[in-house]
Amino acid sequence: MANRTKPTLEKRAKERARQEKRKHKEERRASAKAQRASSPRRVGDEDPDIAGITPGPQPSPWGDEES
């Protein structure tokens, strides 16, 4: 019967590790959410990734013009 307790203890240790990991992940997510909420983007700020792009068809990056 001594052989049966080792897998059980290992399972419990694994589950405890999973719970700890889940707890740390939740704390990290909550921290990131609070960080985002505390520093909202101002209305006038423009996203640098889309700066200068206007809605609608975009000009060809190669300069080809189809008429």
Predicted confidence at residue 12, as pLDDT, reads: 95
pLDDT tens per residue, the chain (67 residues)? 556 678 899 999 999 999 999 999 999 999 999 988 877 666 667 777 888 778 888 778 787 766 5
Predicted confidence at residue 44, as pLDDT, reads: 67
Predicted confidence at residue 6, as pLDDT, reads: 87
Whose tokens are 């700066």? That residue is 51
| Residue 52 backbone dihedrals phi, psi, to 5 degrees | 85, 0
Tokens read off for 41: 């983007």
Give 36's contacts (C-beta < 8 A, 6+ positions apart).
none
C-alpha to C-alpha distance for 63 and 53, rounded to whole angstroms: 16
Predicted confidence at residue 24, as pLDDT, reads: 97
